[in-house]
Amino acid sequence: MDLTVYDRVMAQGYLGDVRGRSLGEIRALRGECQRLEANLSYLRRLVQGRLDIVADAAARVMAGEPVGSVADLVARLPSSMGDHLVSPSSGRLTDTIGPGPDSTLTLELDSICSADDLARLATLDVSDLVIMRNRLIELEREVSTRRRLVFERLDALSAEIARRYRDGEVSVDSLLD
């Protein structure tokens, strides 16, 4: 992930005196946080998917079963990833990220478990699979923590916008201008 944007958003003075900022500035900050959250959400989904695949391979090896070919992995995806399937996507990620994901998002993930690593899971021994699984678990926790911190920024910005509407400092009519 692009830590430059994350570090800037998490910096001590990022929100500054939010009450002294213009509504346009607050909306711009909120938009930046929304894009960052969407990118973190995308990365988290990628990590979870790879984690499910690696965990499935490790469980098979531990049970004395073959991991199988890449085609076998693909065929087992619905069952190995089933724990994370909640509902169809609403399209929010593509609306927020843009036409394609930021390649910097996947650098750390690929250093742990690249697409090539997934293709060769059947050749890895159980200790390598467990190490890969544990590193993916750690990355998922890190991404989830970062995402939660970005939500705190989003909540603060949204609360200020709501306060201004509630207190009459801005009106709904200003949205039409």
Rounded to two decimals, the pTM is 0.81
- Cα–Cα distance between 85 and 45 in angstroms, integer? 10
- Cα–Cα distance between 164 and 167 in angstroms, integer? 5
Q: What is the pLDDT of residue 2?
A: 63
DSSP string covering 109-148, please? Answer: HHHHS-HHHHHTGGGS-HHHHHHHHHHHHHHHHHHHHHHH
Q: Is residue 151 part of a domain?
A: yes
In this predicted model, what pLDDT tens digit does every residue of 128-149 receive, in sequence order? 999 999 999 999 999 999 999 9
- The boundaries of the domain holding residue 122 are 3-7+23-175
Q: Is residue 18 part of a domain?
A: no
Domain count, the chain: 1
Amino acid at 156: A
Instruction: Give first-to-last CA distance, the chain, whole Å.
Output: 36
